[in-house]
Amino acid sequence: MAGELTGKIAVVTGAASGIGLASAEAMLAAGAQVVMADRDEAALKKHGEKHGADLIPLPIDLLDPKACATLIPRALEKAGRIDIFHANAGSYVGGDLVDNDTAAIDRMLNLNVNVVMKNVHDVLPHMIERKSGDVIVTSSLAAHYPTPWEPVYASSKWAIDCFVQVVRRQVFKHGVRVGAISPGPVITGLLADWPQEKLRDLKEQGSLLEASEVANVILFMLTRPRGMTIRDVVMMPTNFDL
């Protein structure tokens, strides 16, 4: 897809690793300039050295409310405009609810729900004024199925999936498209809490996705004709769907 995003400016949160990194690198390869937002400054520096001037690092801790409020203004100051916003930053809490730490629940819900809503809230006026823009939110297969081993994480994704579908209906008249990507299990750091035997079995079965495969679908969503909204793509490894 080389050149399909030439001239576009994207902002990706949680961009230093996992799906965020794969998304940012896919957009860079397609010709976009990408503001990579993440709290891992060392990783951002490393990626900047690899990709050069088209990658704009933006170190930020989105769980700090004051810092979170500066994301869009800082990105606009660095890049001038925002054509694409990928709200990807998130965390994971799995296991039985009674075993979950309530502080971890608060942190995850804040990042997976509140931060996404605030970031999208802040970027929409810019896109509405320009009458163009794409917002992509990283959701999950867990938003579509009551996954028994992750009630807290699944609930956060059900909430954000509803948010995406409602906001999409509010802003399409302004030329702004809002969609979600809902992958099944992806090989990223978010699976660190999964039982090791479960991860091992899924890897052996070919039942995990690669982050690059998710990024390819994100590019598919972004490069459709402007009159077409891809509102939600659910993707999973075939063996996971048996």
Give catalytic status of residue 153 as yes or no.
yes
Does residue 33 sit in helix, strand or coil?
A: strand
Helices 116-130, 71-79: inter-axial angle, 10-degree rounding: 40
Ordered by where they begin, the domains of the chain are 9-232 (3.40.50.720)
The mean pLDDT value for 91-95 works out to 89
Q: Which CA distances in Å does 129 have to 7, 68, 70, 136?
A: 19, 22, 19, 19
The mean pLDDT value for 224-235 works out to 90
In a 10 Å sphere around its CB, with 0-12 CB exposed, 13-18 middle and 19+ buried, how is residue 60 labelled?
A: buried
Residue 101 above 90 pLDDT?
yes
Spatial contact of 137 and 87, defined as CB atoms under 8 Å apart: yes
What is the per-residue pLDDT for 62?
98
Q: What is the rounded CA–CA span in Å between residue 112 and residue 157?
A: 7
Residue 1 above 60 pLDDT?
no
Any idea of the CA torsion for 150, 140, 199, 110, to the nearest 10 degrees?
A: -50
In this predicted model, what pLDDT tens digit does every residue of 3-50 receive, in sequence order?
A: 899 999 999 999 999 999 999 999 999 999 999 999 999 999 999 899
pTM of the model: 0.92
φ/ψ (deg, to 5) at 14: 60, 40
Q: What is the rounded CA–CA span in Å between residue 130 and residue 190?
A: 35
Q: What is the rounded CA–CA span in Å between residue 28 and residue 9?
A: 10
Q: What is the rounded CA–CA span in Å between residue 183 and residue 170?
A: 25
Instruction: Give the ranges where the chain is alpha helix by DSSP (H).
Output: 18-29, 41-51, 65-68, 71-79, 102-109, 116-130, 151-171, 196-205, 211-222
In the chain, pLDDT over 70 holds for what percent of residues? 95
* Catalytic residue (choose from 36, 47, 87, 153): 153
Token pair for 26: 């896919």
Q: What is the rounded CA–CA span in Å between residue 20 and residue 212?
A: 10
More confident residue, 189 or 58: 58
